[in-house]
Protein backbone atom coordinates (compact mmCIF):
# COMPACT_ATOMS: atom_id res chain seq x y z
CA UNK A 1 0.00 0.00 0.00
CA UNK A 2 1.15 3.53 -0.68
CA UNK A 3 2.74 5.39 2.20
CA UNK A 4 0.79 8.35 3.56
CA UNK A 5 1.64 11.73 2.09
CA UNK A 6 3.07 14.24 4.46
CA UNK A 7 2.51 17.42 2.54
CA UNK A 8 5.62 17.13 0.43
CA UNK A 9 5.04 17.99 -3.22
CA UNK A 10 6.16 14.54 -4.32
CA UNK A 11 6.72 11.17 -2.75
CA UNK A 12 10.32 11.69 -1.85
CA UNK A 13 10.76 7.99 -1.17
CA UNK A 14 9.35 6.97 -4.53
CA UNK A 15 10.85 9.33 -7.04
CA UNK A 16 14.40 10.48 -6.92
CA UNK A 17 16.38 12.28 -9.55
CA UNK A 18 19.56 12.16 -7.52
CA UNK A 19 19.51 8.48 -6.64
CA UNK A 20 22.20 6.32 -8.13
CA UNK A 21 21.19 4.71 -11.39
CA UNK A 22 23.04 1.49 -12.23
CA UNK A 23 25.54 1.84 -15.05
CA UNK A 24 23.82 -0.78 -17.21
CA UNK A 25 20.58 1.21 -16.93
CA UNK A 26 22.28 4.48 -17.82
CA UNK A 27 23.87 2.84 -20.86
CA UNK A 28 20.53 1.51 -22.08
CA UNK A 29 18.82 4.87 -21.52
CA UNK A 30 21.71 6.55 -23.35
CA UNK A 31 21.05 4.35 -26.40
CA UNK A 32 17.39 5.34 -26.26
CA UNK A 33 18.17 9.04 -25.84
CA UNK A 34 20.51 9.01 -28.84
CA UNK A 35 17.89 7.19 -30.91
CA UNK A 36 15.32 9.88 -30.09
CA UNK A 37 17.75 12.57 -31.23
CA UNK A 38 18.65 10.63 -34.37
CA UNK A 39 14.94 10.34 -35.17
CA UNK A 40 14.48 14.07 -34.63
CA UNK A 41 17.19 15.00 -37.10
CA UNK A 42 16.56 12.20 -39.61
CA UNK A 43 19.87 10.39 -39.18
CA UNK A 44 20.31 6.63 -39.54
CA UNK A 45 21.99 5.06 -36.54
CA UNK A 46 22.89 1.46 -35.76
CA UNK A 47 23.24 0.55 -32.10
CA UNK A 48 26.18 -1.73 -31.48
CA UNK A 49 27.77 -3.61 -28.60
CA UNK A 50 26.52 -3.69 -25.01
CA UNK A 51 22.75 -4.01 -24.56
CA UNK A 52 22.22 -3.72 -28.33
CA UNK A 53 23.72 -7.17 -28.88
CA UNK A 54 21.64 -10.34 -28.99
CA UNK A 55 22.19 -12.05 -25.61
CA UNK A 56 23.41 -15.27 -27.22
CA UNK A 57 26.31 -13.47 -28.88
CA UNK A 58 27.88 -12.22 -25.64
CA UNK A 59 29.73 -14.61 -23.37
CA UNK A 60 30.26 -12.01 -20.67
CA UNK A 61 27.73 -9.99 -18.71
CA UNK A 62 29.30 -6.56 -18.95
CA UNK A 63 27.16 -4.00 -20.78
CA UNK A 64 30.15 -1.72 -21.12
CA UNK A 65 30.65 1.71 -19.65
CA UNK A 66 29.27 3.67 -22.57
CA UNK A 67 26.70 3.39 -25.34
CA UNK A 68 28.07 2.74 -28.83
CA UNK A 69 26.35 3.86 -32.01
CA UNK A 70 27.47 3.68 -35.62
CA UNK A 71 26.16 6.60 -37.68
CA UNK A 72 25.59 6.82 -41.41
CA UNK A 73 28.57 9.00 -42.36
CA UNK A 74 26.60 11.73 -44.10
CA UNK A 75 24.54 12.23 -40.95
CA UNK A 76 27.38 12.54 -38.46
CA UNK A 77 27.46 16.35 -38.41
CA UNK A 78 23.70 16.59 -37.92
CA UNK A 79 23.71 14.09 -35.08
CA UNK A 80 26.67 15.77 -33.38
CA UNK A 81 24.86 19.11 -33.59
CA UNK A 82 21.70 17.59 -32.11
CA UNK A 83 23.68 16.00 -29.31
CA UNK A 84 25.39 19.29 -28.50
CA UNK A 85 22.04 21.08 -28.46
CA UNK A 86 20.78 18.61 -25.85
CA UNK A 87 23.58 18.87 -23.36
CA UNK A 88 26.08 16.32 -24.64
CA UNK A 89 29.66 17.53 -24.19
CA UNK A 90 32.44 16.28 -26.41
CA UNK A 91 35.10 14.57 -24.30
CA UNK A 92 37.19 13.17 -27.12
CA UNK A 93 37.03 14.28 -30.74
CA UNK A 94 37.09 11.87 -33.67
CA UNK A 95 40.68 12.82 -34.35
CA UNK A 96 41.89 12.39 -30.76
CA UNK A 97 40.09 9.24 -29.75
CA UNK A 98 42.04 6.40 -31.30
CA UNK A 99 44.48 5.37 -33.94
CA UNK A 100 41.51 4.78 -36.25
CA UNK A 101 39.95 8.28 -35.97
CA UNK A 102 36.72 6.38 -35.69
CA UNK A 103 34.71 7.64 -32.73
CA UNK A 104 33.96 10.74 -30.72
CA UNK A 105 33.21 10.29 -27.04
CA UNK A 106 30.52 12.49 -25.47
CA UNK A 107 29.21 12.91 -21.93
CA UNK A 108 25.74 13.80 -20.70
CA UNK A 109 24.94 14.42 -17.02
CA UNK A 110 21.90 12.15 -17.18
CA UNK A 111 23.20 9.36 -19.40
CA UNK A 112 26.95 9.23 -19.03
CA UNK A 113 29.09 8.39 -22.03
CA UNK A 114 28.34 7.61 -25.64
CA UNK A 115 30.74 6.69 -28.42
CA UNK A 116 29.57 8.06 -31.78
CA UNK A 117 31.27 6.01 -34.49
CA UNK A 118 31.57 7.64 -37.90
CA UNK A 119 33.16 4.42 -39.14
CA UNK A 120 33.96 1.07 -37.61
CA UNK A 121 37.61 0.01 -37.31
CA UNK A 122 38.23 -2.75 -39.78
CA UNK A 123 35.41 -1.54 -42.04
CA UNK A 124 37.10 1.79 -42.61
CA UNK A 125 37.99 1.63 -46.32
CA UNK A 126 34.61 2.90 -47.50
CA UNK A 127 32.61 3.78 -44.37
CA UNK A 128 29.44 4.83 -46.21
CA UNK A 129 29.34 1.63 -48.23
CA UNK A 130 30.02 -0.52 -45.17
CA UNK A 131 27.27 1.24 -43.24
CA UNK A 132 24.83 0.68 -46.09
CA UNK A 133 25.59 -3.05 -46.12
CA UNK A 134 24.90 -3.30 -42.39
CA UNK A 135 21.85 -1.02 -42.62
CA UNK A 136 20.28 -3.00 -45.46
CA UNK A 137 20.27 -6.13 -43.31
CA UNK A 138 19.44 -4.43 -40.00
CA UNK A 139 17.14 -5.72 -37.32
CA UNK A 140 15.39 -3.96 -34.46
CA UNK A 141 15.86 -4.18 -30.72
CA UNK A 142 13.96 -2.20 -28.09
CA UNK A 143 16.31 -0.39 -25.74
CA UNK A 144 14.57 1.25 -22.79
CA UNK A 145 11.38 0.51 -24.76
CA UNK A 146 12.56 2.64 -27.67
CA UNK A 147 12.83 0.94 -31.07
CA UNK A 148 16.50 0.93 -32.06
CA UNK A 149 18.05 -0.34 -35.27
CA UNK A 150 20.80 -2.92 -34.80
CA UNK A 151 22.90 -4.88 -37.29
CA UNK A 152 21.71 -8.34 -38.27
CA UNK A 153 22.96 -11.15 -36.00
CA UNK A 154 25.78 -11.79 -38.47
CA UNK A 155 26.54 -8.07 -38.57
CA UNK A 156 26.64 -7.98 -34.77
CA UNK A 157 29.06 -10.90 -34.78
CA UNK A 158 31.31 -9.14 -37.27
CA UNK A 159 31.30 -5.97 -35.17
CA UNK A 160 32.18 -7.94 -32.04
CA UNK A 161 34.90 -9.89 -33.82
CA UNK A 162 36.51 -6.73 -35.20
CA UNK A 163 36.38 -5.21 -31.73
CA UNK A 164 38.00 -8.33 -30.28
CA UNK A 165 40.74 -8.06 -32.91
CA UNK A 166 41.90 -4.73 -31.46
CA UNK A 167 41.35 -5.53 -27.80
CA UNK A 168 44.33 -6.88 -25.95
CA UNK A 169 43.33 -9.71 -23.64
CA UNK A 170 45.05 -12.48 -21.80
CA UNK A 171 44.15 -15.46 -23.94
CA UNK A 172 41.28 -15.58 -26.39
CA UNK A 173 38.80 -12.72 -26.24
CA UNK A 174 35.47 -13.96 -24.83
CA UNK A 175 33.56 -12.73 -27.89
CA UNK A 176 35.47 -14.98 -30.28
CA UNK A 177 33.85 -18.28 -29.31
CA UNK A 178 30.15 -17.34 -29.62
CA UNK A 179 30.70 -15.31 -32.76
CA UNK A 180 33.15 -17.53 -34.64
CA UNK A 181 34.35 -20.78 -33.14
CA UNK A 182 30.91 -21.97 -32.10
CA UNK A 183 29.18 -20.69 -35.21
CA UNK A 184 28.25 -23.21 -37.91
CA UNK A 185 30.42 -23.59 -40.99
CA UNK A 186 27.68 -21.90 -43.00
CA UNK A 187 27.64 -18.97 -40.57
CA UNK A 188 31.41 -18.62 -40.80
CA UNK A 189 31.19 -18.60 -44.60
CA UNK A 190 28.50 -15.93 -44.37
CA UNK A 191 30.67 -13.91 -41.98
CA UNK A 192 33.60 -14.07 -44.40
CA UNK A 193 31.30 -12.90 -47.18
CA UNK A 194 29.96 -10.06 -45.03
CA UNK A 195 33.52 -9.06 -44.12
CA UNK A 196 34.41 -8.94 -47.80
CA UNK A 197 31.38 -6.78 -48.59
CA UNK A 198 32.26 -4.35 -45.81
CA UNK A 199 35.98 -4.23 -46.56
CA UNK A 200 36.83 -6.06 -43.35
CA UNK A 201 38.58 -9.14 -44.69
CA UNK A 202 41.96 -8.36 -43.10
CA UNK A 203 40.44 -7.24 -39.80
CA UNK A 204 38.36 -10.42 -39.59
CA UNK A 205 41.47 -12.43 -40.34
CA UNK A 206 43.13 -10.71 -37.38
CA UNK A 207 40.23 -11.67 -35.13
CA UNK A 208 40.21 -15.35 -36.09
CA UNK A 209 43.95 -15.94 -36.22
CA UNK A 210 44.41 -15.90 -40.00
CA UNK A 211 46.36 -12.68 -40.30
CA UNK A 212 49.41 -14.49 -41.69
CA UNK A 213 47.53 -14.87 -44.98
CA UNK A 214 47.82 -11.10 -45.41
CA UNK A 215 51.39 -10.69 -44.13
CA UNK A 216 53.37 -7.85 -45.64
CA UNK A 217 50.46 -5.52 -46.30
CA UNK A 218 50.22 -2.19 -44.43
CA UNK A 219 46.77 -3.07 -43.13
CA UNK A 220 48.01 -6.38 -41.76
CA UNK A 221 50.83 -4.50 -40.01
CA UNK A 222 48.26 -2.41 -38.17
CA UNK A 223 46.28 -5.43 -37.00
CA UNK A 224 49.43 -7.34 -36.07
CA UNK A 225 50.03 -4.71 -33.39
CA UNK A 226 46.70 -5.51 -31.78
CA UNK A 227 47.22 -9.24 -32.17
CA UNK A 228 50.24 -9.22 -29.92
CA UNK A 229 51.37 -7.35 -26.85
CA UNK A 230 52.98 -4.13 -27.96
CA UNK A 231 53.52 -0.65 -26.64
CA UNK A 232 51.58 2.43 -27.68
CA UNK A 233 54.31 3.54 -30.02
CA UNK A 234 53.88 0.32 -31.95
CA UNK A 235 50.18 1.04 -32.40
CA UNK A 236 50.83 4.51 -33.76
CA UNK A 237 53.72 3.39 -35.93
CA UNK A 238 51.53 0.75 -37.52
CA UNK A 239 48.77 3.30 -38.00
CA UNK A 240 51.31 5.59 -39.64
CA UNK A 241 52.31 2.82 -42.02
CA UNK A 242 48.67 2.16 -42.87
CA UNK A 243 47.78 5.84 -43.41
CA UNK A 244 47.32 6.74 -47.03
CA UNK A 245 49.45 9.64 -48.24
CA UNK A 246 51.81 12.15 -46.60
CA UNK A 247 49.09 14.37 -45.11
CA UNK A 248 47.43 11.46 -43.37
CA UNK A 249 50.77 10.25 -42.06
CA UNK A 250 51.60 13.64 -40.56
CA UNK A 251 48.14 13.80 -39.00
CA UNK A 252 48.61 10.44 -37.33
CA UNK A 253 52.01 11.44 -35.99
CA UNK A 254 50.72 14.66 -34.42
CA UNK A 255 47.63 13.06 -32.91
CA UNK A 256 49.65 10.30 -31.31
CA UNK A 257 50.70 12.87 -28.72
CA UNK A 258 47.24 14.31 -28.14
CA UNK A 259 45.79 14.47 -24.62
CA UNK A 260 42.37 12.98 -23.87
CA UNK A 261 40.84 15.44 -21.41
CA UNK A 262 38.16 13.00 -20.24
CA UNK A 263 40.57 10.28 -19.19
CA UNK A 264 42.90 12.88 -17.72
CA UNK A 265 39.98 14.22 -15.65
CA UNK A 266 39.16 10.70 -14.48
CA UNK A 267 42.74 10.16 -13.42
CA UNK A 268 43.16 13.52 -11.70
CA UNK A 269 39.74 13.62 -10.10
CA UNK A 270 39.12 17.20 -11.21
CA UNK A 271 38.74 19.30 -14.35
CA UNK A 272 42.20 19.46 -15.95
CA UNK A 273 43.78 22.91 -15.98
CA UNK A 274 45.93 24.13 -18.83
CA UNK A 275 48.96 23.16 -16.77
CA UNK A 276 47.57 19.66 -16.24
CA UNK A 277 47.09 19.22 -19.98
CA UNK A 278 50.56 20.54 -20.71
CA UNK A 279 52.08 18.21 -18.10
CA UNK A 280 50.19 15.27 -19.58
CA UNK A 281 51.43 16.17 -23.05
CA UNK A 282 54.99 16.13 -21.78
CA UNK A 283 54.37 12.83 -20.02
CA UNK A 284 53.04 11.28 -23.25
CA UNK A 285 55.98 12.66 -25.17
CA UNK A 286 58.36 11.12 -22.64
CA UNK A 287 56.45 7.84 -22.84
CA UNK A 288 56.91 7.89 -26.59
CA UNK A 289 60.58 8.64 -26.20
CA UNK A 290 60.81 5.87 -23.63
CA UNK A 291 59.20 3.44 -26.01
CA UNK A 292 61.71 4.41 -28.69
CA UNK A 293 64.55 3.97 -26.21
CA UNK A 294 63.15 0.61 -25.20
CA UNK A 295 63.12 -0.52 -28.78
CA UNK A 296 66.67 0.68 -29.32
CA UNK A 297 67.83 -1.29 -26.27
CA UNK A 298 66.03 -4.41 -27.47
CA UNK A 299 67.71 -4.27 -30.85
CA UNK B 1 -17.24 13.38 -14.84
CA UNK B 2 -15.24 10.86 -16.90
CA UNK B 3 -11.84 9.89 -15.52
CA UNK B 4 -9.02 10.99 -17.82
CA UNK B 5 -7.03 8.47 -19.78
CA UNK B 6 -3.46 7.80 -18.74
CA UNK B 7 -0.70 6.45 -20.97
CA UNK B 8 3.05 6.32 -21.19
CA UNK B 9 4.40 9.41 -22.90
CA UNK B 10 5.74 8.96 -26.42
CA UNK B 11 8.90 10.61 -25.14
CA UNK B 12 9.44 8.15 -22.32
CA UNK B 13 12.06 5.47 -22.08
CA UNK B 14 12.26 3.08 -19.18
CA UNK B 15 14.10 0.10 -17.83
CA UNK B 16 13.11 -2.17 -14.96
CA UNK B 17 15.82 -3.98 -13.02
CA UNK B 18 15.21 -6.01 -9.87
CA UNK B 19 11.81 -4.46 -9.31
CA UNK B 20 13.03 -0.87 -9.64
CA UNK B 21 11.82 1.20 -12.59
CA UNK B 22 14.10 3.82 -14.12
CA UNK B 23 12.03 6.11 -16.33
CA UNK B 24 12.93 9.28 -18.17
CA UNK B 25 11.57 11.78 -20.63
CA UNK B 26 13.92 11.45 -23.58
CA UNK B 27 16.15 12.73 -24.89
CA UNK B 28 17.07 14.95 -21.95
CA UNK B 29 16.07 13.18 -18.74
CA UNK B 30 16.82 13.20 -15.90
CA UNK B 31 16.09 9.60 -14.97
CA UNK B 32 13.49 9.02 -12.25
CA UNK B 33 13.92 6.12 -9.89
CA UNK B 34 10.64 4.44 -9.01
CA UNK B 35 10.78 1.76 -6.40
CA UNK B 36 8.25 -0.01 -4.22
CA UNK B 37 4.81 1.60 -4.61
CA UNK B 38 6.17 3.99 -7.24
CA UNK B 39 7.11 1.09 -9.46
CA UNK B 40 3.71 -0.42 -8.80
CA UNK B 41 1.95 2.71 -10.05
CA UNK B 42 4.17 2.75 -13.13
CA UNK B 43 3.35 -0.86 -13.99
CA UNK B 44 -0.33 -0.09 -13.53
CA UNK B 45 -0.07 2.84 -15.95
CA UNK B 46 1.94 1.10 -18.68
CA UNK B 47 -1.03 -0.77 -20.25
CA UNK B 48 -2.88 2.55 -20.47
CA UNK B 49 -6.50 3.17 -19.61
CA UNK B 50 -8.50 5.55 -17.50
CA UNK B 51 -7.19 6.89 -14.25
CA UNK B 52 -9.89 4.84 -12.55
CA UNK B 53 -8.49 1.70 -14.15
CA UNK B 54 -4.96 2.60 -13.08
CA UNK B 55 -6.17 3.13 -9.50
CA UNK B 56 -7.97 -0.21 -9.60
CA UNK B 57 -4.83 -2.01 -10.81
CA UNK B 58 -2.78 -0.47 -8.04
CA UNK B 59 -5.39 -1.39 -5.45
CA UNK B 60 -5.54 -4.97 -6.68
CA UNK B 61 -1.77 -5.31 -6.65
CA UNK B 62 -1.58 -3.78 -3.16
CA UNK B 63 -4.50 -5.96 -2.00
CA UNK B 64 -6.48 -3.01 -0.74
CA UNK B 65 -9.46 -0.98 -1.89
CA UNK B 66 -9.44 1.68 -4.59
CA UNK B 67 -10.75 4.24 -2.10
CA UNK B 68 -7.68 3.80 0.10
CA UNK B 69 -5.15 4.49 -2.67
CA UNK B 70 -7.09 6.73 -5.06
CA UNK B 71 -5.85 10.11 -3.84
CA UNK B 72 -2.22 9.00 -3.56
CA UNK B 73 -2.21 7.33 -6.96
CA UNK B 74 -3.85 10.33 -8.59
CA UNK B 75 -1.30 12.72 -7.17
CA UNK B 76 1.56 10.41 -8.08
CA UNK B 77 0.29 10.11 -11.64
CA UNK B 78 0.16 13.91 -11.70
CA UNK B 79 3.82 13.95 -10.68
CA UNK B 80 4.79 11.51 -13.44
CA UNK B 81 2.84 13.53 -15.99
CA UNK B 82 4.66 16.66 -14.84
CA UNK B 83 7.95 14.79 -15.25
CA UNK B 84 7.01 13.99 -18.84
CA UNK B 85 6.95 10.20 -18.57
CA UNK B 86 3.15 9.81 -18.49
CA UNK B 87 0.49 11.80 -20.31
CA UNK B 88 -3.22 12.31 -19.89
CA UNK B 89 -5.00 11.21 -23.04
What are the pLDDT digits (tens) for A59-87?
766 667 899 999 999 999 999 999 999 99
* CA gap A40, A51 in Å, rounded: 22
Residue A144: its chain B contacts at CB < 8 A?
Answer: 13-15, 24, 26
In Å, how far is A276's CA from the nearest CA of chain B? 31
Domain A23-271 grouped into CATH 3.30.460.40: yes
**pLDDT surpasses 60 at A246:** no
Choose among A141, A130, A152, A157: nearest CA to A57: A157
* Nearest residue to A207 (alpha-carbon basis) of A178, A242, A173: A173
Cβ-Cβ pairs closer than 8 A, A with B, add up to: 104
Least confident of A98-107, A116-125, A137-146, B74-83: A98-107
Choose the mutation target among B21, B27, B57, B59 for the interface with A, i.e. most A CBs under 10 Å. B27
SS3 for A87-145 is: CCEEEECHHHHCCCCCEEEEEECCCEEEEEECCCCCCCCCHHHHHHHHHHCCEEEEECC
pLDDT band with cut points at 50, 70 and 90 for residue A10: very low
Complex-level ipTM:
0.95
Cβ distance B17 to A25 less than 8 Å, yes or no, reads yes
Cβ atoms A117, A102 nearer than 8 A = yes
For the whole model, what pTM was predicted?
0.80
Task: Report, as an integer, the average pLDDT of A193-207.
Answer: 96
**B38 contact A CB<8A:** yes
d(CA A63, CA A22): 11
Per-residue pLDDT tens over the stretch A120-161: 999 988 999 999 999 999 999 999 999 999 999 999 999 999
Nearest CB to B28: which of A4, A110, A145? A110
Indicate the domain borders of chain A: 23-271
Q: What distance in Å separates residue B1's CA from the closest CA in chain A? A: 25
Region A101-111: what's the mean pLDDT? Answer: 91
Amino acid sequence: MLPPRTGAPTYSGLVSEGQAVPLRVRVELAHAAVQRLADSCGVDVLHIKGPAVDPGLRRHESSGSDADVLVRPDGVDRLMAALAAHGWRVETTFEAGSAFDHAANLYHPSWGLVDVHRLYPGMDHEPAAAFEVLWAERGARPLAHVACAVPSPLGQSLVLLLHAARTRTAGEHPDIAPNWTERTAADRDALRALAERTGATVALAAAIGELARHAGTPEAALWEVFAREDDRLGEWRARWRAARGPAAKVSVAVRSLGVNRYYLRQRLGHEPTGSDVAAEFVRRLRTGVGAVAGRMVRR
Amino acid sequence: MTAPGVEVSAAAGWVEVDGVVYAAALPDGPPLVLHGPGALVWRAAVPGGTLTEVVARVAAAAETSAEVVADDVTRFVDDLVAAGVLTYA
